[in-house]
């Protein structure tokens, strides 16, 4: 049992089969939210099978040995519940939300879907066609093109190099047997976390989960070892010609994982420092990039920064949409703002505002049952433990101007640059980009 900073008591139980149960009691509303995490996701896709986890998420709710897709939909919709699956870089997620009275039946249904999906051929074919359509649609979106090419350059043959949708080549070849093999490999109780929040007692929550999942046995084989390539920064410029109304400019930097020191020779404080710098640079209308490049200089239609939480090496990126004639100025403007982080310490006031913004948004993201179930299950499946809820706040609070500038100098020096725009905007860039 762990108490979160907002006085939420998180109960943790491990069943005999290794399945982890997390539960937060919240009697304020008659709603129970459940998040079921599997250590899978795109990170665990075999080479040449990009998009496999996404396709599995699309069809896992479409049939079991005893239920058709229509019967499943009727069971969910008849009680006004929500049930669905999704995949992320580091995990697979099955979500459920319903009123308390219907929760036992819906949890049992979720157990059937997770344990015994049938992957009907017709449903697999339909979802494969829809996925291919989505991939082709992304190939027409300038930001998606620029970000996709940037990701491929940064991650090369690492699983993170691909969109969760996969590619036309890989998705076209995926079969129901591939889905079955992936499911049999990773969907097992000792590789799973079930996180719940709502109007239940801790004892009742464990009893219900045990009823639906307690007799699930692990296969006799161990989970496969994950062999990933070692990533080293090799910055490059990627220019993609497309007749667009605006140029998309993205600067990317390899950055540490959430494991804080276990990858890229990171210092333990680097993850928190970069989270804070990401907030300072690109979070909201008061962020440095928005104020300096959009409000003061009028360069940007949109401008922001991102630093996703990843188990393996992440990426710190800043991006902008700008008028084609401003492309070169925009690239140099973005670089100057990022480079500034390594040359000019944040003032005490800048640091204070950024911390308040980041921690305030973090607190607001833990209000609903769904948010509570999500964040505690997410930390557990990443191997951070539910205590990371407290650790993260402490690490952000402890960041000093010196720690922030040290992290910036360590990671944000030489960027990968990806630009999509018309030929007239790209032609001078090879000579005009900052050294």
- Which of 121, 405, 123 lies closest to 269, judged by CA? 405
Q: What is the pLDDT of residues 327-365, one digit of tens each?
A: 999 999 999 999 999 999 999 999 999 999 999 999 999
264, pLDDT greater than 60: no
259, pLDDT greater than 90: no
Q: How far apart are CA 11 and CA 206, in angstroms?
A: 10
Q: What is the pLDDT of residues 214-228, one digit of tens each?
A: 999 999 999 998 888
Q: In this structure, which topology does domain 2-213 adopt according to CATH?
A: Cytochrome Bc1 Complex; Chain A, domain 1 (3.30.830)
- Which of 226, 307, 231 lies closest to 40, judged by CA? 226
Region(s) of the chain under CATH 3.30.830.10: 2-213, 237-432
pLDDT for the residue 225: 87
Q: What is the mean pLDDT of the chain?
A: 93
Q: What is the mean pLDDT of residues 316-325?
A: 95
Q: What is the mean pLDDT of residues 100-112?
A: 96
Q: How far apart are CA 383 and CA 203, in angstroms?
A: 24
pLDDT for the residue 4: 59
The total number of residues written for the chain in this structure: 435
Angle, to 10 degrees, between the axis of helix 401-411 and the axis of helix 270-282? 90
432, pLDDT greater than 80: no
89, pLDDT greater than 90: yes
DSSP string for 39-105:
S-SGGGPPTT-TTHHHHHHHHTTSBBSS-BHHHHHHHHHTTT-EEEEEE-SS-EEEEEEEEGGGHHH
Share of the chain above pLDDT 90, in %: 86
Q: What is the pLDDT of residues 360-409, one digit of tens each?
A: 999 999 999 999 999 999 999 999 999 999 999 999 999 999 999 999 99
**Beta strand ranges found along 221-283 (DSSP E):** 237-241, 247-255
Query: Using an 8 Å Cβ cutoff, are 105 and 48 in contact?
Result: no
Kindly state the tokens that stand for 354. 């950024």
- Which of 414, 161, 101 lies closest to 170, judged by CA? 161
435, pLDDT greater than 50: no
Give the long-range contacts of residues 357-366, CB within 8 A, separation 24 or more: 357/279, 357/283, 357/284, 357/286, 358/275, 358/276, 358/279, 358/283, 358/396, 359/393, 359/396, 359/397, 361/283, 362/392, 362/393, 363/5, 363/6, 366/4, 366/6, 366/8
Q: How far apart are CA 356 and CA 43, in angstroms?
A: 33
Q: What is the mean pLDDT of residues 18-23?
A: 98
pLDDT for the residue 1: 65
- Which of 299, 182, 282, 251 lies closest to 419, judged by CA? 251
Q: How far apart are CA 409 and CA 261, in angstroms?
A: 16
Q: How far apart are CA 237 and CA 259, in angstroms?
A: 29
- Which of 47, 166, 179 lies closest to 123, judged by CA? 179
pLDDT for the residue 431: 42
pLDDT for the residue 29: 84
pLDDT for the residue 2: 62
Q: How far apart are CA 311 and CA 43, in angstroms?
A: 9
For the entire predicted model, the pTM comes to: 0.92
Q: What is the mean pLDDT of residues 308-332?
A: 94
Q: How far apart are CA 181 and CA 148, in angstroms?
A: 28
* CATH 3.40.50.1000 matches 237-432: no
Confidence tier at 181 by pLDDT (50, 70, 90): very high
pLDDT for the residue 265: 57
- Which of 273, 261, 315 lies closest to 151, judged by CA? 315
140, pLDDT greater than 80: yes
Confidence tier at 424 by pLDDT (50, 70, 90): confident
Confidence tier at 8 by pLDDT (50, 70, 90): confident
132, pLDDT greater than 60: yes
Q: How far apart are CA 301 and CA 248, in angstroms?
A: 10
434, pLDDT greater than 60: no
Q: CA angle, 370 as apex, 112 and 71 as ends, to 5°?
A: 30
230, pLDDT greater than 90: no
Q: What is the pLDDT of residues 293-303, one digit of tens each?
A: 999 998 889 99
């Amino acid at each position: 049992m762990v108490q979160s900073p907002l006085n939420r008591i998180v109960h943790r139980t491990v069943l005999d089969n290794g399945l982890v149960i997390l539960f937060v009691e919240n009697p304020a509303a008659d709603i129970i939210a459940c998040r079921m995490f599997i250590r899978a996701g795109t990170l665990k896709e075999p080479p040449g099978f990009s998009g496999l986890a996404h396709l599995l998420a699309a069809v896992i709710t479409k049939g079991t040995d005893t239920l058709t897709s229509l019967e499943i939909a009727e069971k969910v919709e008849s009680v006004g519940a929500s049930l669905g699956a999704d995949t992320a870089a580091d995990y697979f997620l099955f979500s459920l939300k319903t009123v308390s009275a219907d929760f036992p039946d819906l949890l049992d249904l979720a157990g059937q879907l997770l344990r015994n999906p049938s992957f009907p051929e017709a449903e697999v074919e339909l979802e494969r066609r829809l996925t291919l359509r989505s991939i082709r649609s992304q190939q027409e979106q300038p930001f998606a093109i620029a970000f996709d090419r940037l990701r491929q350059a940064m991650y090369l043959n690492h699983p993170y190099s691909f969109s969760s949708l996969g590619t036309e080549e890989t998705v076209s070849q995926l079969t129901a047997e591939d889905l079955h093999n992936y499911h049999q490999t990773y969907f097992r109780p000792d590789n799973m976390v079930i996180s719940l929040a709502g109007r239940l007692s801790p004892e009742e929550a464990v009893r219900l989960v045990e009823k639906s999942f307690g007799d699930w046995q692990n296969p006799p084989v161990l989970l496969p070892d994950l062999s990933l390539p070692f990533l080293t920064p090799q910055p490059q410029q990627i220019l993609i010609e497309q007749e667009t109304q605006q140029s998309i400019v993205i600067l990317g930097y390899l950055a540490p994982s959430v494991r804080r020191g276990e990858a890229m020779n990171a210092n333990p404080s680097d993850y928190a420092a970069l989270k804070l710098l990401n907030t300072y640079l690109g979070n909201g209308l008061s962020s440095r990039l928005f104020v300096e490049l959009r409000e003061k200089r009028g360069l940007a239609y949109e401008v922001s920064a991102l630093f996703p939480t990843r188990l393996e090496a992440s990426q710190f990126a800043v991006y902008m949409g700008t008028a084609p004639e401003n492309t070169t100025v925009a690239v140099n403007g973005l670089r100057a703002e990022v480079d500034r982080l390594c040359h000019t310490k944040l003032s005490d006031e800048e640091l204070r505002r950024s911390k308040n913004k980041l921690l305030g948004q973090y607190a607001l993201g833990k209000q609903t049952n769904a948010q509570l179930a999500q964040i505690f299950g997410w930390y557990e499946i990443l191997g951070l433990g539910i205590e990371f809820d407290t650790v993260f706040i402490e690490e952000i609070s402890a960041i000093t101007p010196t720690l922030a500038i040290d992290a910036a100098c360590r990671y944000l020096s030489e960027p990968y640059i990806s630009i999509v725009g018309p030929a007239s905007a790209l032609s001078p860039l090879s000579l005009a980009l900052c050294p």
